[in-house]
Amino acid sequence: MQKSTFLISILLLTFFSSCTDKKTSKPAAQSAPQKQEVVVPTFNADSAYSYVKQQLDFGPRVPESEAHSQCAEWLIDFFNAKADTVYVQNFRTRLYDGRGIDGKNIIASFNPQAKKRILLGAHWDSRPFADHDPDETKWNTPIDGANDGASGVGVLMEIARVLNENPMNTGIDIILFDLEDYGAPQYLNLMTNNDWALGSQYWSKNPHIYNYRAYFGLLLDMVGAPNPKFPKEYYSQQFAPSLSNDVWRMARELGYSDYFTNEIGHPINDDHIYVNLNANIPMIDIIHLENNEESSFYPYWHTIKDNIEQIDPKTLGMVGDVVLNVIYRK
Answer yes or no: is 250 within a domain: yes
Specify if 28 maps to a domain: no
- For residue 191, the model assigns a pLDDT of 74
**Over the stretch 108-148, which tens digit does the pLDDT of each residue have?**
999 999 999 999 999 999 999 999 999 999 999 999 999 99
**pLDDT of 33:** 55
**Whole-prediction pTM value?**
0.89
3-state secondary structure 37-73: CCCCCCCCHHHHHHHHHHHHHCCCCCCCCHHHHHHHH
Does a structural domain hold residue 247?
yes
Q: Which residues of the chain have pLDDT under 50?
A: 1-27
**What is the pLDDT, as a whole number, of residue 32?**
53
pLDDT for 320? 98
For the domain that residue 181 is a member of, what is the CATH number?
Answer: 3.40.630.10
Number of H helices, E strands in the chain: 8, 8
pLDDT at residue 34 in the model: 57
- Does a structural domain hold residue 297? yes
Is residue 237 included in any domain, yes or no? yes
- Whether 230 and 315 have beta carbons less than 8 Å apart is answered as no
Q: How many independent structural domains does the chain possess?
A: 1
Task: Say if 225 falls within a structural domain.
Answer: yes
The answer as to whether 35 is a domain residue is: no
Cα distances (angstroms) measured from residue 19 to each of 14, 23, 28, 50, 309: 17, 8, 19, 74, 82
Task: Give a yes or no: residue 272 inside a domain.
Answer: yes
Which residues span the domain enclosing 310? 45-329
Report the C-alpha gap between 220 and 150 in whole angstroms: 10
Q: pLDDT at position 5, please?
A: 32
Within 10 A of 23 (CB to CB), how many other CB atoms are there?
8
* SS3 labels along 188-211: HCCCCCCCCCHHHHHHHHCCCCCC
